[in-house]
Structure 1
Amino acid sequence: MNKAITDGLLLMPPAFGAGLDVWSSEDGTPGQASYQGAYNAALVAADQDFGPCLELVKTTATQKLRYMGETPILPGCYLRITARVKVISGNLPGVRIAGWAGGAGGVHVEGLVETGPEAVPGGYGEVVTVSAIVGTGARGGVDMPWGLAPIYGHFGLDLTGANGGVVRIESIAIEDVTAAWLREMVPFVDVRDFGAVGDGVTDDRAAFAAADAAAAGRGILVPEGSYYLSGNLSLNAPVRFVGTLVMPLAARLLLLKSYDFPTYAAAFGDEDLGFRKAVQALFYYTDHTVLNLKGRRVELTAPVDLRALLPDLGSFSNRRVIANGQINVIDGPGWASAMVSSQASYDIALPDQLTAVANIASIPVGARVAGTGVGREVYVKAVNVVAGSLTLSQPLHGGSGSRSYSFTRDRYILDLSGMERLDRLNIAEVEFLCNGVASAVMLPPEGDVFAMRDCWVMRPKDRAITSIGRGCQGMLIDRCHFLSNEMSLRVQDRSTIALNVNANDVKIRENRFVRFAHFMVAAGTGHLILGNHWFQGDEETQGLRSAGLVLAQTNVLTSVTGNYIDNAGLEWTNEYAPDPAFGTQYSFGGLTVTGNTFLCSDMAPGFRWISVRPYGAGHFIHGLNLSGNVFKAAGGTVERIERVDTTVADLDYSRMRNVVVEGNTFNGISQFVSNPATLEHDQATAQTVWTLTPGAMLPFGGWARNVEGVVAEGMISGATGARITEMPFVQVEQGAAKQQLQLNWSQAAKGRVQVKVRMDNLA
C-alpha cells in the first residue's frame, strides 16, 4: 500500500533549489521565520556528493530545519523521512530527523516523540544518512508513534551539539513505507510464503505448520491449488480455504480456531469428505466439543464409519455434539444392505453366543439375526473368526440346537458399531434425510448416554436408531420426529422399526413416530416413555394393527406415561429369554401404564391395545399398574382393551398378584375391565347358593381369586320375604374357567349385592 500512489497524496517536500521560503528555522508553522535570506543559510549549486543542496551554519543549540508544508498523517499510513548530510568545516554536530505534530485547528499535540535517532559524522566530508519513521501505530521500527490525534506534521531535521559547524544538506525526502508492515496489517498469512507448492503431490505439511506458527493472531490463507498433507496437522490460527487439501483418510486435520462443517467442506472441496474429516477431528482434541453444521446440508454417498476414521481409537468417553444441520443421503452402491445365511449352534448355557458358525468371516458386526427361535431386533455384537463364534445382543428363545440363521447388515448414516465403547455422544437439531436408502444411527456395542434431541429422522430404509449391544445405556431421545418410509403400506407389510434398546434407564420423551412396524423394541429396565405420540394405522378398512411398543423382557421397571397411542398397541413378551419357561426369575412385572390416550379406528376384529405374550409356560403378572388412561374406538367397536396372546404359552392365573387396573375411561369398548372389579348381582329367586360371573370384567382372562367386599344393596330376604341379616361366605375360583364365585347363605335368599372381586393377590 502506498498512499502517494493509491490516493495521490503529495508527500515529497520541494527541493531546496526551489526556494528557502518554505523551510522554517523554527517548527514550520505559519508566520515563523524561514531560511529565505537568512545570513547562515545558502544554496550550493553543485556539490560533488549532493548536487544542488543547502549549506547551513549551526548558530543555535538546536538548529531546526522544518518543511512548512503540512504533511498528512493518516491512520494505517507510515512515513519515512530521510536526509543525507556532511560537515564541511567547524565543529561536528549531531544530526537527527525531527518533526512537529499538528492537530485539528493547527494546535500542537503535546507529549509525543518528535525526534528520530541521532547520528554524529566521523569527520569532514563524510556523508551521513539519517532517517526516522512516523505513523499512527506503535509498531516495531516506528520511531515516532503519534496515534490518531495529529492530522499532519512539519518535518525536517535538527542539528545538535556545539555551534560553528558548516553543514551541507541534500534535499529531504518523505516517502510512504506502509508496505513494510503489510504482512502485519493484512489479517492473513499465505501458506505459499512459507514454501507451500499446492500441486497435490509435494508434501506441504511443514509449510502449513510454519504459516501457523507465524500467524501470531492472524488467519491463514490457503490460496488456489491442491495441497497434499502427509500426516496429522493442527492449526491454531483461523483458516480461509480457497484451495483444497489432500490427506490420507487416517490423517487428522484439527482446525482449532475454525472448527465447523463449512470450513471443513471448503478445506476438502467436498461436503462428504469434509464432514468425515470434521467428525474425525471431533474425537481427537478437547478445544471443541461441538461440531456445528451451521445450518448446512451435508450430502453423503456412503456411511460414515467412525472406526474407519479413528483406526487407533477404540473408545471415547468425553461429551461430543453434532448439531444444527441436515444430512442428505445420495443413493448409490455404498448403501446396499448385505445378507449372509449360515448354520450355527446355540446352547442356552451360553445365552449370548452362537458357535460353530459357518462362513463366519462373511458376517459383520451389526448384522441383524433372523431365524427360528430368534426374537425381534437381535444383532451381532462381536465376531471371533478364530473361535468361529458370534456374540449376540440378546439371547435366543428357541432353545439349544443347530439351526440355519440369516444375517442382514443394513447401512447407517452414522455407523458407530466399530468402536468398542462410545459415551456421551449428542446429536442436536439435525435432520437425517434417509430417503428410503439408508438407516440413521447404529450405536456402539458399549456406551453411556447417547442423546438425540430436536432431530428429524425422515424415511429410514430399515431402522432409525439401532442398538447392537449396551451402547444405549441411559439413552435420551427427546422432541424428535421419526417418519417411516412405509407410510403407504399396510400395517402387516411394514418391517421398519424406529429404535431398539438392550440396556437400562432409557428416556424416550415428547417424540413423534409415524407408521413404523414398531416404534420401539425394548429390553432392559428402568425406562421412562413419556409424552410421545406414535401412530401406526393405514388406509385399510378393518385393518390389522401392530404393537407400537414392544417390551421384550418380563420384569421391566418401566413407566409409559402421558403418551398418545394411535392405532397401535403395547406388547409385553419374554422373547429374549434363553429358557422362556418360568423358573426362578421374575415374571411379568414392574410396568406402569398411566395417563395415556389410546385411540383406534377401522381396526380388524380382535384388536387389543395391551397384549401379554409369554414364550414359555408358567409365567404370570406380578406388578402392573394400568390406570388413568383413556381408551377410544372410532369407526368400529373394540371388544376389550387387553388380552393374553397364547400363541406360544398361556399365563399361570393362579399366581397373578399386584395388578391394578382402574380409573380408565372407555369409549366404544364393549367390555369394561377393572381390577378390582365391582359386580352387581341380582338374585330374583331365593337360593342358598348365588353364582356370580365377573370373569369378563377381570383383565387378562384372570380368575376370580379374591373378594374384597360384599355389600347388600337393599334388603336381603328369604323365600317368604322375611329379612335375612346374616352374611354369606364366599367361595372363589368357581366354574370350569375359575372365573365365577359363589355366595353361600344358611337359607335360601334373594336380593341385590355389590361384590368387589380381584383376579390377583396383593402379595
Structure 2
Amino acid sequence: MNKAITEGLVLMPTPFARGLDVWSSGNGTPGSDTYEDVANAAFVAADQDFGGALEMLKTENTQKLRYMGETPLLPGCYLRIRTRVKAISGNLPSVRIAGYAARANGSLVADVPAFAPFVTLTTYGEVVEISAIVGTGNRAGVDMVWGTEPVYGHFGIDLVGANGGIVRVDDVEIEDVTSVFLRDMLGQVDVVDFGAVGDGTTDDSAAFDAANAAANGRTVYVPAGTYRLNSSVTIDTNVRFEGTVTMPDSAVLLLRRNFDLPNYIEAFEDEELAFRKAFQALLNNADHETLDLGGRKVNVTGPIDMQATVPGQDSYATRRVIRNGQLEAASSAAWDTQVVSSQATYNPNNNKRLTNVTNIANVPVGALVEGNGVGREVFVRSKNVATGQIELSAPLYDAAGTQNFTFRRFRYMLDFSGFGQLSKFVLADIEFQCNNRCSALMLALSGTAFQVRDCFITRPADRGITSIGGGCQGMLIDRCQFLSAEDALPVSQRKTIGFNANANDVKLRDNRATRFRHFGLLGGANSIITGNHFFQGDEVNNGVRSAGIILANTHVSSIFSGNYVDNCFLEWTNEQDPAPAFNSEYSFSALSVTDNIFLSGEVAPWFSYIVVKPHGAGHFLSGVSITGNRFRSLNGVIDRAERVDTTFADLDLSRCKNVVFTENSFHAVTYQVETPAKVEFFQNTASDTWTIDLADYLPFGGEALKVESVLAQGALRNANNVRVWETPYADVAVGGDRDQIRLNWSGPVRGRVQVSVRMDSR
C-alpha cells in the first residue's frame, strides 16, 4: 500500500537546485534560519556524482539541515528519508537522518526520537547513502518511532563530530515504504500503527481506540505481542488477534462485531479469563443479548464469581443469554467444600434468622445449614457480622433454642450469588461438566425468570442448581439433563440434589435426571412440573427409595402432570412452612397430580409413590386431585400407592375437603384406593344395621366422612325371605379409626348394595 498515492500525500522535498530558502539550518519551523546566501553553504550545479548538490562547511557541533515543508504523518504510514553524502575535505564528520516531530499547532513532540543512528564518513570522495525510516508503530526496521501524536515533520540530516569538514549532500528523498511492513493494508488497520507497543506493560488503550476510530469498516489487526489495556476499549468493527491483551478486572473489552467466546479466547488466550471478560462485556453492552460460546470447552480451575467480573454492578434485569458450549471443572483444591461449625440460637417467631452466632465471620454466605430440626436445602442467605445474625433461605422445622450448627459451602462452577438481583438471565445448550468436583449453578439473591434450557448438568459433586434466596422466582428449567455422579451408590448413601427453589412460579418441564438423592425440592407455590423423567433406584433388593420431587410447602397450588416417576416418589411436606408452629392455614392444599407414570422395582412392600409428611398437628388435605395416574410395581408387590409419613405428625383426616383420587390404574399394588370409594357390600344375614369397612378403599388412611349414594344390587329380603323396598340412612366415621359407615334399616334385611363414600366432608 502507498498512502502517498491513495491519500494524495505530498512527500518529496524541493530539490536544492530550486533554492535554499526552504532548507533550514535550524529545526525547519517557520522563521528559522535558512541556507540561502550564507557563508558556509552553497549549491554546486555540476557534481560528478550527484549532479546538483549542496556543499556544507561544518561549523557547529550539530550542523542541522531541515526541509521547511511539512511532511505529513498518518497512522499506518511509514516514510523512508534518505540522501547520499561524501566528504570533500577537512575533518570527517558523522551523518544521520533527523527530524522535528510537530503537533498540528507546530509545537514539538519532545518524547519521540529526533534522529536515527549516525554513519561516520571515513574516506574523501566516497559516496555514502544515509537513510532512516520514520513511522507510528514500533516495528522491526523503524528507526524513529513517533507514535500518533505528531501529525507532520521537518526532515533532513545532522552533521555531528569534529567541525571544519566540508561535505556535499545530494537531494533529500522522502518516500512511502508502508508496503515494506504491511502487505495488505486495504482490509485492515494495525494497532501498532497507532502507537501500540505490545510489551505487556505500556498502556496501549489509546492506540486501540485510535485504530478502532480509523477502521471505518476495516478489520482491526492486533499483531504478535502482549498489549496492556488499562482502561475499557470498544472495537466496533471486526478484529483479528495474533497477539493477546491484558486488562485490570474493572476494564471492559467490548468486541461489538466479533462478540463470541472464541474471539475473547484469541484476545486473552486463557479460556477461563476469556469467559469472565466476555461475560463482563455481555453485561456492559447494549448491542448484544447473547454470548455464544462457539461450541468451545472452557477449562474452569475454580468457582467463577459472576458478579465479581462486573465490579460495581450487583443488579441486572435486561435479558441476557449464554449459550452453546461446555464448562469443565479442572482438578483443583479451589473446589473443596468449606465447613464451619458455630453455635447459634433460633426463635420460631423470627423463623428465618439465627442469632448470637459464634464464629460468624467465618460462616460463608451460601452455605448449607445442618443441625437438629433443620430441613433440607436451607441456606445462609446473608449475614451481619456486627449483630451476629444470619438470615436463612427458609424456616427451620424444630430447632427452637440454642445448638451447634454445621455450615457447608459447596463450590459452584458459576456462582451468581454476589448479585443482589438478576432477572431474565438464560443459560442454553451448555454442558456443565462438574466431574464430581464441584456443583454447577448458584443463583442470585433475588430476581425473576432465570432460565436453564437444553443444558446438561453432568456429575455434580453436591448440587446441580442452588437457590439461596429469591433468585428462583419464576425459574424455568426446560429440557435439561441432570446426570448424577452417584449412579453406583445405593440410594441410602447418596447426597447429591439436582436443584432447589424457594420462591413461587417455577416451571420444570421435560427434563431427565438420573440417580440423585433427590431430583429437586420446591419450597414455593404455583409450580408447574410436567413431562419430566427422574429415576433413583439401585440394585439393592427390597431397597429404600428417596423422594424424587419434594414439595416443601402446604398450599402449593401446583400441577404435577405427565411425569415419569421411576423408583422414587413425590413427597409433600411442610418442613419449610413459613408460619410459626406450623399453623394449619390452608393446610396441604391445591395440588393436582394427573396422568403420571409411577414405576418401581425391587422395593420394600411399604414403599409408596405419593407421600404426605406433615410437621405439626392439625393439618389436613384440601383441594387435592390425584387422577389418571399409572401405579406399577415390578418384582414385588407394594401395599399402597399413597401414604402419610407420621414421623413427626399425622393428618387430621376429619378435616379433609375436596379430595379426588380417581381413575388411576394399579398393578402389583395391594390396596387400590379411591375417593369417592365405590364399594360393593354383601350382607348375608338379615340385620337392621350393616357395618361397612372402608379402610382398604380410602386413600391416605382416610376417614369415611360422607356417603354419596347407596344402591341395592338386586332385591333386599327380610328374615322371611320376602322382598322389601327400603332406603337406609347412614352413620359416617364409625369405628375406632373412623373408617367405617353404618347403614340403618327399619328392620332386619339382607342383600347386596353399592355404596359411594368420600374421605372428605365436602
TM bin, normalised by shorter chain, reads 0.7 to 0.9
Question: 1:669-688 alignment to 2 at 5 Å?
Answer: 669-688=669-688
Q: Distance in 2 between matches of 1:519 and 1:210?
A: 54
Once superposed, what is the RMSD of the aligned Cα atoms?
A: 2.1
Q: CA deviation at 1:619?
A: 0.5
Q: Distance in 2 between matches of 1:557 and 1:569?
A: 19
Q: Distance in 1 between matches of 2:207 and 2:525?
A: 55
Superimposed CA distance per residue, residues 227-251 of structure 1 (whole angstroms, 9 cap, x where no aligned partner): 1111222221221111111111222
Residue number in structure 2 paired with 1:11 = none
Q: Distance in 2 between matches of 1:418 and 1:666?
A: 49
Residue number in structure 1 paired with 2:215 = 215
Q: Which amino acid aligns with 1:487?
A: D
Q: Distance in 1 between matches of 2:330 and 2:399?
A: 42
Q: Which amino acid aligns with 1:615?
A: H
Q: CA deviation at 1:612?
A: 0.5
CA contact (8 A) 2:449 2:473 kept: yes
Q: State the secondary structure of the residue aligned to 1:658.
A: strand
Q: Distance in 1 between matches of 2:242 and 2:538?
A: 52
Q: Distance in 1 between matches of 2:333 and 2:177?
A: 61
CA contact (8 A) 1:580 1:617 kept: no
Q: 1:391 to 1:661 in 2, by over 3 A?
A: same
Q: State the secondary structure of the residue aligned to 2:213.
A: helix
Q: Does 1:186 find its partner at 2:186? A: yes
Question: 1:140-289 alignment to 2 at 5 Å?
Answer: 186-289=186-289
TM-score, normalised via structure 2 length: 0.76
Q: Which amino acid aligns with 1:343?
A: Q
Q: Which amino acid aligns with 1:709?
A: S
Q: Distance in 1 between matches of 2:579 and 2:191?
A: 67
TM-score, normalised via structure 1 length: 0.76
Q: Distance in 2 between matches of 1:544 and 1:400?
A: 31
Residue number in structure 2 paired with 1:447 = 447
CA contact (8 A) 1:574 1:580 kept: no
CA contact (8 A) 1:264 1:274 kept: yes
Give structure 2 stretches of 5+ with no counterpart. Answer: 3-45, 52-174
Q: Distance in 2 between matches of 1:592 and 1:709?
A: 26
Residue number in structure 1 paired with 2:601 = 601
Q: Which amino acid aligns with 1:431?
A: E
Q: State the secondary structure of the residue aligned to 1:689.
A: strand
Q: Which amino acid aligns with 1:553?
A: N
Residue number in structure 1 paired with 2:664 = 664
Q: State the secondary structure of the residue aligned to 2:590.
A: strand
Q: Does 1:384 find its partner at 2:384? A: yes
CA contact (8 A) 2:348 2:580 kept: no
CA contact (8 A) 2:434 2:458 kept: yes
Q: CA deviation at 1:206?
A: 1.2
Instruction: Give aligned-pair identity as a percent.
Output: 51
Residue number in structure 2 paired with 1:136 = none
Residue number in structure 2 paired with 1:733 = 733
Q: 1:206 to 1:678 in 2, by over 3 A?
A: same
CA contact (8 A) 1:381 1:390 kept: yes
Residue number in structure 2 paired with 1:755 = 755
Residue number in structure 2 paired with 1:375 = 375
Residue number in structure 2 paired with 1:115 = none
CA contact (8 A) 1:222 1:242 kept: yes
Residue number in structure 2 paired with 1:94 = none
Q: Distance in 1 between matches of 2:288 and 2:714?
A: 77
Q: CA deviation at 1:577?
A: 2.5
Residue number in structure 2 paired with 1:588 = 588
Q: Which amino acid aligns with 1:213?
A: A
Q: Distance in 1 between matches of 2:188 and 2:702?
A: 79
CA contact (8 A) 1:581 1:618 kept: no
Q: 1:511 to 1:246 in 2, by over 3 A?
A: same
Superimposed CA distance per residue, residues 192-246 of structure 1 (whole angstroms, 9 cap, x where no aligned partner): 1111111111111111111111111111111111111112222212211111111
Residue number in structure 2 paired with 1:355 = 355
Give structure 1 stretches of 5+ with no counterpart. Answer: 3-45, 52-174
Q: Which amino acid aligns with 1:214?
A: A
CA contact (8 A) 2:490 2:539 kept: yes
Q: Which amino acid aligns with 2:475?
A: M
Residue number in structure 1 paired with 2:460 = 460
Q: Distance in 2 between matches of 1:384 and 1:282?
A: 32
Q: Distance in 1 between matches of 2:303 and 2:425?
A: 17
**Ranges of 4+ aligned residues in structure 1 off by more than 4 Å:** 175-185, 578-582
CA contact (8 A) 2:502 2:522 kept: yes
CA contact (8 A) 2:562 2:594 kept: yes
Residue number in structure 2 paired with 1:481 = 481
Q: Distance in 2 between matches of 1:697 and 1:182?
A: 88
Residue number in structure 1 paired with 2:155 = none
Superimposed CA distance per residue, residues 81-115 of structure 1 (whole angstroms, 9 cap, x where no aligned partner): xxxxxxxxxxxxxxxxxxxxxxxxxxxxxxxxxxx
Q: Which amino acid aligns with 1:692?
A: I
Residue number in structure 1 paired with 2:334 = 334
Residue number in structure 1 paired with 2:120 = none
Larger Rg: 1
Question: 1:298-309 alignment to 2 at 5 Å?
Answer: 298-309=298-309
Q: CA deviation at 1:187?
A: 1.6
CA contact (8 A) 1:581 1:619 kept: no
CA contact (8 A) 1:716 1:723 kept: yes
Q: Distance in 2 between matches of 1:745 and 1:754?
A: 15
Q: Which amino acid aligns with 1:365?
A: V
Q: Distance in 1 between matches of 2:507 and 2:450?
A: 11
Q: State the secondary structure of the residue aligned to 1:696.
A: coil
Superimposed CA distance per residue, residues 447-496 of structure 1 (whole angstroms, 9 cap, x where no aligned partner): 10000111111101111111111100111111111101111110111111
Residue number in structure 1 paired with 2:631 = 631
CA contact (8 A) 1:398 1:578 kept: no
Q: State the secondary structure of the residue aligned to 1:679.
A: strand
Q: CA deviation at 1:311?
A: 2.0
Q: Which amino acid aligns with 1:378?
A: V
Q: Distance in 2 between matches of 1:518 and 1:400?
A: 27
Q: CA deviation at 1:691?
A: 0.9
Q: Distance in 2 between matches of 1:182 and 1:272?
A: 33
Superimposed CA distance per residue, residues 679-700 of structure 1 (whole angstroms, 9 cap, x where no aligned partner): 1111111111111101111001
Q: Does 1:537 find its partner at 2:543? A: no
Q: CA deviation at 1:345?
A: 1.2
Q: Distance in 2 between matches of 1:282 and 1:347?
A: 43
Q: Does 1:612 find its partner at 2:619? A: no
- The count of corresponding residues between Structure 1 and Structure 2 is 594
CA contact (8 A) 1:397 1:578 kept: no
Q: State the secondary structure of the residue aligned to 1:342.
A: strand
CA contact (8 A) 1:262 1:293 kept: yes
Superimposed CA distance per residue, residues 520-563 of structure 1 (whole angstroms, 9 cap, x where no aligned partner): 10111110001110110011111111110100000000000001
Q: Which amino acid aligns with 1:602?
A: E
Q: Which amino acid aligns with 2:452?
A: M
Q: CA deviation at 1:176?
A: 13
Residue number in structure 1 paired with 2:716 = 716
Q: State the secondary structure of the residue aligned to 2:488.
A: coil
Q: 1:613 to 1:233 in 2, by over 3 A?
A: same
- Which stretch shifts more, 256-265 or 583-592? 583-592
Residue number in structure 1 paired with 2:552 = 552
- Which stretch shifts more, 698-707 or 199-208? 199-208
Residue number in structure 2 paired with 1:494 = 494
Q: CA deviation at 1:418?
A: 0.7
Q: Distance in 2 between matches of 1:615 and 1:482?
A: 30
Q: Distance in 2 between matches of 1:238 and 1:471?
A: 36
CA contact (8 A) 1:365 1:418 kept: no
Q: 1:181 to 1:497 in 2, by over 3 A?
A: closer
Superimposed CA distance per residue, residues 135-159 of structure 1 (whole angstroms, 9 cap, x where no aligned partner): xxxxxxxxxxxxxxxxxxxxxxxxx
Q: CA deviation at 1:579?
A: 5.4
Q: State the secondary structure of the residue aligned to 2:606.
A: coil
Residue number in structure 2 paired with 1:24 = none
Q: CA deviation at 1:605?
A: 2.4
Q: Which amino acid aligns with 1:701?
A: G
Residue number in structure 1 paired with 2:76 = none
Q: CA deviation at 1:179?
A: 5.5
Q: Distance in 2 between matches of 1:388 and 1:215?
A: 57
Q: Distance in 1 between matches of 2:243 and 2:741?
A: 86
Q: Distance in 1 between matches of 2:279 and 2:329?
A: 17
Q: State the secondary structure of the residue aligned to 2:670.
A: coil
Q: Which amino acid aligns with 1:624?
A: V
Q: State the secondary structure of the residue aligned to 2:275.
A: helix
